[in-house]
Amino acid sequence: MALSTLVYRVNNALKTLERTFFGALTNRYPPADDFRLCVDFEPQKQQIINEKSVLEEILRDGFLFAVPKHRRSIEARLRRKFGCPEYVLKILLPKKNLKICNVCGDDHEAGVLCPTCYKRVIDETTTMKEAIQNELKLEPIEEEVVVMYEGEKESKSEEFWKGKRIVEMPKPRPQWFTENLLQKTTQKGANTSDVKPSDLG
């Protein structure tokens, strides 16, 4: 396309746009030579030049909104609303990896600790921490601290309690909280940082 043809089409488009805005605002049409440059300003042409700058004032003082050029397809609208199964799915799906806890009977996801049972462990651990803090205060602890529930002092000899700081709990030990959980491990730590794969076969 030649440059002259392009300039001619742009000039016609600008004239049409000018006439539309001018007619909507002033209820009359501007003269034909709107976009020509006037070199000599005569008194009768001064009013025409002022009327010609109506569109420039509108565009200078206002602002334009960004609007889409094309209408979204039905597939794009549904994908924005419900998501995409390959990436992010926004709709709610039923979970199929639920199991029943053997201790409390509540449902929880497979491979995850039961929230109800774990809440009991958190509460018991918090009670033990408060008892240790109330008993030992802020004194430095140089001896082993042993948490003792009701009726456990007679089950072990006096030599077991020698050289240890005893913190008594004013309640019996829960059935799920066995003494084996507090015993130190007898296995030696691994020297390598390699992790063996699991769930093979």
The conformation of residue 182, written as its DSSP 8-state character, comes to: G
Q: Phi and psi of 12, rounded to 5°?
A: -65, -40
- pLDDT single digits (tens) 102-126: 888 999 999 899 999 999 989 998 9
State how far the alpha carbon of 115 is from the alpha carbons of 13, 111, 125, 131, 178, in Å: 70, 12, 15, 24, 19
pLDDT tens profile 5-44: 777 788 888 888 887 776 777 666 555 554 444 444 454 5
C-alpha to C-alpha distance for 127 and 125, rounded to whole angstroms = 5
CA triple 75-80-86, angle to 5 deg: 80
44-69 tens-digit pLDDT = 555 555 555 666 766 666 667 788 88
SS3 assignment, position 39: coil
Q: Which residues make beta-bridge pairs with 99?
A: 108
Please check whether residue 122 is in contact with residue 129, taking contact to mean a CB–CB distance below 8 angstroms: no
What confidence score (pLDDT) does residue 74 get? Answer: 95
User: Residue 114 in 3-state DSSP?
Assistant: coil
Query: Mapping DSSP to helix (H, G, I), strand (E, B) and coil, where does residue 100 land?
Result: strand
Tell me the CA end-to-end span of the chain in Å, nearest whole number: 70
Looking at the DSSP bridge assignments, the partners of residue 97 are: none
Average pLDDT of the chain?
77
Token digits of residue 37:
């440059």
Of 153, 185, 156, residue with least CA distance to 167:
153
The two beta strands, 107-109 and 98-100, are antiparallel
